[in-house]
Structure 1
Amino acid sequence: MKKIYIIILTLSMSLVSCDQWLEIEPEYTQDAENFFNTEEDFQRAVIGVYDLMQTNYLQIWIGEIASDNSIAGGESVNDTQGLHEIDNMTHGGVNNELRDVMRFNYTGIARANFIFENENKIDFASKERLMAEISFIRAYFYFTLVNYFGDMPLIVDRRISINEVFQIDRTPKAEIYAQIERDLDRAIQELNWTNPELGRITKGAALALKGKVLLYQQKFSEAAQVFDELISTNQANYALVSDMNTMWLAVNQNRSEDVFTIQHSGLQGGDYGCLVCLQGNPAVGFHSIRNYVGPFYADGNSYNLPTQNLYDFFGNDPRRQVTILDLDAFIAAQPNPDDISYAVGGGGHTGYFNNKYIKRAAERGLPDDDLTSQLNYRAIRFADVLLMAAEAFAQTGNDARARVELNKVRQRAGVAEITSSGAQLLEDIYRERRLELSGEGLRFWDLVRTGKAAEAIPGFQVGKHELFPIPQVEIDLAGGRWSQNPGY
Structure 2
Amino acid sequence: MKKTLKAGTLFICGLMAAVSCDDFVNVDPLYTRSADNFFRTPTDYQQALTGAYDPMQTSYLDLWIGEIASDNSIAGGEGVTDTEGLHQIDAMTHGGVNNELRSLWRWMYAGVTRTNYIFENRDKLEFDDKARIMGEASFLRGYYYFELVKFFGAVPLIVDRQLPPGEVSSQVRTPATEVYAQIEKDLQAAADALEWTTPVKGRITKGAALALLGKAYLYQNKFTEAATVLDQVINEGGYDLFNNFETMFRVVNEGSKETVFDIEYVGVEGGSYGCFVCLEGFAAVGFHGIRGYDGPVYADGNSYNLPTKDLYDAFESGDPRRDASILDIEAFIAAQEEPGKIKYVTGAGGHTGYYNKKYLKRSDELGLGDNDLTSPVNHKVIRFADVLLMAAEAHNRKPSANDNLALQYLNRVRTRPSVGMAALNLTGTALTEAIYRERRVELAGEGLRFFDLVRTGKAAEEIDGFEAGKHEVFPIPQDEIDLAGADWQQNPKY
TM over 0.5: yes
Aligned counterpart, 1:475: 481
1:395 to 369, 385, 397: 397
Matches within 5 A, 1:37-436: 37-234=40-237, 237-316=238-317, 317-396=319-398, 397-412=401-416, 413-436=419-442
Give a deviation string over 1:10-66, Cα, whole Å, max 9, x none: xxxxxxxxxxxxxxx978732233111111111011011111111110011000000
The Cα shift of 1:448 comes to 0.1
The structure having more radius of gyration, on CA atoms, is 1
The Cα shift of 1:248 comes to 1.4
Give a deviation string over 1:213-234, Cα, whole Å, max 9, x none: 1111101011111111111222
1:38, 1:122 within 8 Å by CA — same for their partners in 2?
yes
1:269, 1:366 within 8 Å by CA — same for their partners in 2?
no
Identity of aligned residues (%): 61
Residue identity matched to 2:491: N
1:270, 1:368 within 8 Å by CA — same for their partners in 2?
no
3-state secondary structure, aligned to 1:272: coil
3-state secondary structure, aligned to 1:32: coil
1:269, 1:368 within 8 Å by CA — same for their partners in 2?
no
The Cα shift of 1:164 comes to 1.4
Give a deviation string over 1:437-461, Cα, whole Å, max 9, x none: 0100000000000000001000000
The Cα shift of 1:409 comes to 0.3
2:79, 2:348 within 8 Å by CA — same for their partners in 1?
yes
The Cα shift of 1:480 comes to 4.8
Residues 1:453 and 2:464 are matched in the alignment: no
Give a deviation string over 1:288-322, Cα, whole Å, max 9, x none: 10010000000000000000111111142211011
Change (3 A) 1:426 1:274: same
1:292, 1:298 within 8 Å by CA — same for their partners in 2?
yes
2:67, 2:448 within 8 Å by CA — same for their partners in 1?
yes
Residue identity matched to 2:299: A
3-state secondary structure, aligned to 2:59: helix
CA RMSD, 1 decimal: 1.1
Give a deviation string over 1:231-264, Cα, whole Å, max 9, x none: 1222xx2000111111111101111000011100
Which stretches in structure 1 are left out of the alignment for 5+ residues? 1-24
Give the TM-score taking structure 1 as reference length. Answer: 0.93
Give a deviation string over 1:333-378, Cα, whole Å, max 9, x none: 0001111101110100001000000110000001100000011111
Runs ≥4 in structure 1, deviation > 2 angstroms? 25-29
Taking the aligned partners of 1:346 and 1:56, their CA distance within structure 2 comes to 25
Aligned counterpart, 2:446: 440
Aligned residues, how many? 462
Residue identity matched to 1:51: D
The Cα shift of 1:185 comes to 1.1
Which stretches in structure 2 are left out of the alignment for 5+ residues? 1-27
Taking the aligned partners of 2:457 and 2:111, their CA distance within structure 1 comes to 30
